Chain A
C-alpha cells in the first residue's frame, strides 16, 4: 500500500463546478504539499500545509492531522484548471517528498 493515496485518479467536471480532490497518508508527516502539473509542463507548488487551511484565489487546501487526510478544493472551476494535481508529504529529515500518483482533472467549457 502506498504511503500517500489520492482519489479520484481521474475527474471530469463542467466549468463552474466545485471540485474536491482527496489525499490520505499513512505515516507521520511534518508537512503536506499540493502540486500542479499542466500537460507537458513543469511542476508548481500550490500549497504547503502542516495544519488547518490555506486559500489562494479559487483554491483551498485543508488538512486534518488526526485523520491523516487533506483535501484540495477548487471553486468555480475553469478549463485552465485542467491539470494533474499531486499530493506529497514531507516526513523525516532532509525535506524529501513522498508523492501520491496524482489526480487528472479535466474541466470542460
Chain B
C-alpha cells in the first residue's frame, strides 16, 4: 500500500457538467499519473505530473485537464463531461525500486468509476 486514495470512488453525472476527480498520496512522491481503463482498450494514460505545477499530456488527453498545486494532490478535471468519458479512472504514482537507478515501480489507487449519462 503506497498510501494512494482517490475520491470519489463512484460518480454519476450528466453530459455537459464539469467533474473533478482527486488523487491523494501521503508520501510526497514526485511522479503521478491518471489513467483510464476501458473494455477493448485497456489502460491508457491521460495526463501525468513530474512535480508541483509540472504536468504533461498522455495519449488520451482531449477533454481533460489536470492540476498539481501541492505534491500530495493530483486533480483530474473533465471540463464538460461526455458519455465517451464513462470509464474507470486510476491514479498511480512511481516509486524508486530496489536495484538499478532507472527502475521505478508503479502503485495504483483503488479507482473511480465514473458514469456520464
Contact = CB atoms under 8 A, between A and B. Distances in A.
Interface of A: 30-31, 33, 35, 42-45, 48, 50, 86, 88, 90, 94-102
Contact of B103 (A43, A48, A86, A102): A48
Contacts of B42: 86, 99-102
Interface of B: 31, 33, 35, 40-45, 48, 50, 56, 58, 90, 92, 94, 97, 100, 102-111
Given A96-B48, A100-B42, A42 B94 contact: no
Given A42-B111, A45-B106, A50-B100, A95 B94 contact: yes
Contacts of A50: 100, 102-103
B31 A101 contact: no
Contacts of B41: 101
B108 A43 contact: yes
B45 to A, nearest CB: 6
Contacts of B106: 33, 45, 88, 95, 97
Interface of A is mostly: strand
B43 A30 contact: no
A99 B45 CA distance: 9
A43 B108 CA distance: 6
A25 to B, nearest CB: 14
